[in-house]
Amino acid sequence: MNVGVGLPTTTPGASGELVLEWARRAEAGPFSSLAVLDRVAYDSLDPFASLAGAAAVTSRIRLATMVAVGPLRPTGLLAKEAASVHALSGGRLTLGLATGARPEDYEAAGADARGRGRRLSEQLAYLRAGIDAERVGPARDGIELLVGGGSGPAFARMARYADGYAHGGGPPRAFASAATRAQAAWRDLGRPGEPRLWGQGYFALGDAERGDEYLRHYYAFTGPFAERVVAENLTSARKLKDFVRGYEEAGCHELVLFPAVAELDELARLAEAVA
Partner 1 sequence: MKVEIVGGGPGGLYLAILLRRADPTIEVRVLERNAPDATFGFGVVFSEETLGALRDADAETHLAITDTFARWDRVDIRYRGRLLSSRGHSFSAIARTRLLEILQRRAAAVGAELRFGVEVDALPEADLVVGADGVNSFVRRQRDFGTRVAPEGSKYVWFGTDLVFDAFTFVFRETEHGLFNVHAYPYDERMSTFIVECPEPVWRAAGLDEMDEGESLAFCEQLFARELRGHELLSNRSLWMDFLKVENRTWHDGNVVVLGDAAHTAHFSIGSGTKLALEDAIALANALERRGWDVEAALVDYELERTPAVERTQTAASESAGYFRRVGSYAHLEPLQFAFNLLTRSGRITHATLGVRDPHFTRVLDAWLAGGARELEPAPLFTPLRLGDLTLANRLVAAPDAPVAAAGVVLTGFVAVSPEGRITPETPVVDEWQPPPGTVALQLGHAGRRGATAPHALGVDVPLHEGWPLVSASPLAYAPYAAVPRELDEEGMEVVRDAFVAGAERAAALGVAVVELDLAHGYLLASFLSPLANRRTDEYGADRLRFPLAVFDAVRAAWDGVLAVRLSVADGARGGLTVDDGIAVARTLAARGCDLVHVEAGQTVADDRPEYRRGFLTALSDRVRNEARVLTLVRGHLTTPDEANTIVAAGRADLCILDLPPARIETPGEAARVGAPAREAVRR
Burial class (CB in 10 A: 0-12, 13-18, 19+), 120: buried
Angstrom distance (rounded) from CA 50 to CA 63: 10
Q: Of the two residues 51 and 176, which places its CB atom closer to partner 1 in the complex? A: 176
* Residue 249 interacts with partner 1 (CB under 8 A): yes or no: no
Residues in 167-226 that interact with partner 1 by CB under 8 A? 180-185, 187-194, 223-224
What is the rounded CA–CA span in Å between residue 207 and residue 90? 36
How many residues bind partner 1 (CB under 8 A)? The answer is 39
Burial bucket for residue 135 (CB in 10 Å: 0-12, 13-18, 19+): exposed
CB of 166 to partner 1, least distance (A): 16
**Contacting partner 1 (CB under 8 A), which of 12, 90, 91, 130?**
130
Per CB under 8 A, 227 contacts partner 1: yes
Q: Which is nearer to partner 1, 242 or 248 (CB)?
A: 248
The piece of 77-85, 100-108, 150-158, 265-273 that touches partner 1 (CB under 8 A) is 150-158
CA 91 → CA 53, 65, 88, 158, distances in Å? 15, 14, 8, 21
Q: Is 77 in the site for partner 1 (CB under 8 A)?
A: no
Does the CA dihedral 143-60-64-80 come out positive or negative?
negative
**Which positions touch partner 1 (CB under 8 A)?**
117-118, 121-122, 125-126, 128-131, 151-153, 155-156, 159-162, 180-185, 187-194, 223-224, 227-228, 231, 251
